[in-house]
Structure 1
């Protein structure tokens, strides 16, 4: 079952990559049509930009994501003994290489894993997490993160993060170019109904593209959390540690500084409490904590 899930996540990587590339191409076509009257040039520019973003972020995903989240690396057990040894133990049980270990100076308890594969992975924990979690709870959290590493969830999320960043850059470019008068003149516009609808459609596509990219990231994130919770129980042989940790996370305050594009990486949504309660679950990157706890209790 576990190896089937890993293989499934690898296949998902291909589908996610294809879907995001199609979206990037559509945005490029829209930009090219609006600003140059040709979709082909826009697609070429968008493709080049996407390749650059993917090359940089995928090849250096750990450093990029850790810098985005203001994390500092620790290099030995002397700097944070309990965290280091727990990560070491969970990596050994999961049969993956020891990841790089980072700490984020933030009072809100949280943690995440990132990287391109188990050989180039890293985990991060906030100072708030280290303060409130006991050994058993910390093992549950790190077991959860090590499951993401073992299941190749980190690669899936890294690719999604890279392409989302490329989409955001394209949209920002289009907005700035339009603001400074870079759009096509009325003389160049096609006055036919097809031309008008094409212009309206291109504008809507550019506006809605970041939302589509975010929804894709959210869909990827939700289901992988349940699997990682189950994986943590498998690694620790102790569901109570993770249950207790998740219960503490239910009362956590939002993190002070977090990159929105990396919110889906964390064990619980680091921004959730900032949103209006009426729409609290509309665009969640994670399943509700009470549902995750209920599933663990059923074990």
Structure 2
């Protein structure tokens, strides 16, 4: 495997973020153009569509962390109430050489955590109450070091933008399905039957392929980065066993997370829905991650 410096990894993540946003913009334009054509939007409709795409990309880049945190009902963790958590986050941030991120809490029984933000200076780490009740201090260090690795490697920008983008694609898919059936089912439009069939076929292709393409990109990026964040986190705290032990406890919890969605699943340290088809899995198997961690030699 080709070795890369931290700065090369960071630059690669930024490039991937822009590439993903370009691909998404093309998918969004294709879906939007279908709407413009179907509703006779003309040139003005296309201009509005392009303006919307630029605006949404800007919002996704600048405010994706706030959107992600709000989507899972996360709240700021009080330093008085969560002193140990703040202390662990601060000491791991010092070891990683990054500013201390903001600390958030999710009222969720499933043990899990994620990091978000556009760069190390605008980052946040969120953990569930279930995680805090299940792991000891060393294991919590392991989980936080994994999330701090995502921050240091600038994985967080790519992962968070993907979450916001996937959310919009899923919403557009649902809107497209409803508008198609609404129109084909008797909506008073001056379209012949042949035109309706074409609309149905194009709409189905766009609404099915777009989320699949996004999901494949998301899964490929996320799985690669989880292995790297595991190893980087282990080196940050010089203790691979801490994260390995925490992952075993996290993997032993069988119930799915209530607040998670398909748009945010890839951001968590472990898949909030459990084991799913490997083609679309956002995380490597926990057993493989634990095996790799315990095979690491920290000098």
Alignment partner of 1:186 out of 184, 187, 191: 191
Deviation beyond 6 Å, 4+ runs, structure 1: 196-199
Counterparts in 2 of 1:260-275, with a 5 A limit? 260-272=262-274
Asked if the contact 1:272–1:284 (Cα under 8 Å) also holds between the matched residues in 2, the reply is no
Q: Which stretch has the larger CA shift, 127-136 or 246-255?
A: 246-255
Summarize deviations over 1:248-282 as a string: whole Å, max 9, x none: 11211321222331111000001125xxxxx5434
- Could you tell me how far 1:75 is from its partner in structure 2? 3.9
Cα offset for 1:45? 4.3
2:283 — aligned with what?
286
| Structure 2 Cα separation of the partners of residues 190 and 65 of structure 1 | 39
Residue of structure 1 equivalent to 2:8 = 4
Alignment partner for residue 100 of structure 1, among 97, 102, 127? 102
Unaligned stretches of 5+ residues in structure 2: none
2:58 maps to 55
Counterpart among 18, 23, 27 of residue 23 in structure 1: 27
Higher deviation after alignment, 197-206 or 128-137:
197-206
Aligned residue pairs: how many?
288
Gaps of 5+ in 1: 274-278
Per-residue CA distance 1:5-38 (angstroms, 9 max, x = gap): 1121122112112211111122223333344386
Q: TM-score, normalised by structure 2?
A: 0.87
- TM-score norm. by structure 1 comes to 0.87
Give the match for residue 227 of structure 1. 228
Contact kept in structure 2, 1:50 and 1:163, CA below 8 Å = no
**Residue in 2 aligned with 1:113?**
115
* Residue in structure 1 matched with residue 67 of structure 2 by the alignment: 64
Q: Compute the RMSD of aligned alpha carbons.
A: 2.5
Q: Distance in 2 between matches of 1:295 and 1:183?
A: 61
| SS of residue matched to 1:125 | strand
Aligned ranges for residues 58-207 of structure 1 at < 5 Å? 58-76=61-79, 78-181=80-183, 185-187=190-192, 200-207=201-208
For 1:248, the equivalent position in structure 2 comes to 249
Contact 1:34-1:183 at 8 Å conserved across structures:
no
Contact 2:180-2:203 at 8 Å conserved across structures: no
Alignment check: 8 A CA contact 1:258 1:270 kept: yes
Q: Give me the whole-angstrom Cα distance separating, in 2, the residues matched to 1:45 and 1:212.
A: 25
Deviation at 1:188, TM superposition (A): 8.9
Q: Distance in 2 between matches of 1:184 and 1:18?
A: 34
User: CA separation in 2, counterparts of 1:280 and 1:133?
Assistant: 28
